[in-house]
Amino acid sequence: MVALEQKLQLAAQQKKLPKALIVVHFAGLSCDMQSIHKLTSTYNIVLIEDAAHALGGDYVGRKIGCCEYSDLTVLSFHPVKSITTAEGGAVLTNNSAYFTKLQLFAKHGVTRDPALMQGESDGPWYYQQVELGYNYRLSDLHAALGITQLQKLDQFVAKRRMLAARYKQQLADLPLTLPCEESYQDSAWHLYMVELNQHDRLAVYKHLHELGIGVNVHYIPIHLQPYYQALGFKAGDFPVAEHFYHHALTLPLFPSMTEEQQAQVISSLRQVLLERRA
C-alpha cells in the first residue's frame, strides 16, 4: 500500500500517471479496496478489479464484484475458476457510460439505440456502427452452462471455505506460512497456498508427487517471462513476488474434495516436512 502510494506520487511528479490501475484479488482474497480507491480517486485513475480468482468472495461485508470501490470488475469463467462457461468471462460496472461502451465494444461497435446514433434513422431495420468494436459475445450455449453454474456458486464457495478452515486448523503446527485473512476479507479460496520457510521447495514438491499428492506452484512472476524481460524488466525488480514464487506451494482444494482426500494431503505434507527437516 505504501509502495503503491510512493509509486503514484513519483509518477504524478514526473507527469506519468497511468490511466488505469488493475488490482488482482490473489487466490480469492480481496485487496484493500477502500485504501486503493482513495489513492486512485486522488489521482483520477480508473480502478479495475481483476476478480478472476475471487467470484463468491466478500470484502467488508459485500460481494466482490459490486464495484463499490472500483469502476469495473473483470471475471473469468475458464474451467479452473469459481464457476465456468467453458471459456469466457464478464465485466461488471455500476457506471452507465462504461456499460454502454462495453456493450458496443462486445458487439462490433454496432447499435440499434437511436440515442447513440448520429442523424436520422432510415427505417425500422436501421443500425449504425459508431465505434470500432469486436465480437466478445458469450454464446447462448456457454451462457446456459453459466446460469446453472451460478446457482452452485454459493455451495462451491462454502465448501472451499470449509476446506480452507480445516487446512488452517490442521497445518497450524507445521513450519509453514499459512495464508492470512484480515477481518474485512472473506476469501473465495480459489487457491490455498502455503509458503515453505525451512525446506527445499522442489524436493518437497517432488516428494509429495511421489506420494500421489498433486501440489502445484503458482505463479511465475510475469516480469520474469521473456516477453517482459525483452521490455526491460529483470529479476530483482519485484522482490516480494519473487520471494513468494520461490517458497510457495499450492495444496489441492476443489469443491468435490472429500474429507478423506484432504486428510491424506495433510498427513502426507506432515510426513514429508518432518522427514526432510533440515
Q: How much of the chain is helix, strand and coil, in % rounded to 5?
A: 40, 15, 45
Stretch of residues binding ligand PLP (CB under 6 A), selected from 1-9, 48-56, 109-117, 158-166? 48-56
Q: Which helix (H) or strand (E) holds 111?
A: strand 110-111
Q: In terms of DSSP H, where are the helices of the chain?
A: 2-13, 33-43, 96-106, 140-170, 201-210, 226-230, 239-247, 259-275
Give the whole-angstrom CA distance, residue 213 versus residue 199.
Answer: 17
Closer residue to ligand PLP (CB): 111 or 187: 187
Active-site pick, 81, 107, 152, 206: 81
Give the whole-angstrom CA distance, residue 14 versus residue 5.
Answer: 14
Q: Which of residues 136-155 bind ligand PLP (CB under 6 A)?
A: none
Residue 82 grid cell: 469459481
Is 15 assigned a catalytic role?
A: no
Closer residue to ligand PLP (CB): 32 or 50: 50
Total count of residues recorded for the chain: 278
Under the binding rule (CB under 6 A), the answer on residue 52 touching ligand PLP is: yes
Q: Which of 37, 53, 160, 207 binds ligand PLP (CB under 6 A)?
A: 53
- Per-residue binding letters, 234-263, with ligand PLP (x by CB under 6 A): ------------------------------
Under the binding rule (CB under 6 A), the answer on residue 68 touching ligand PLP is: no
Under the binding rule (CB under 6 A), the answer on residue 76 touching ligand PLP is: yes
Positions touching ligand PLP (CB under 6 A) are 24, 50, 52-53, 76, 78, 89
- Residues identified as active-site: 81
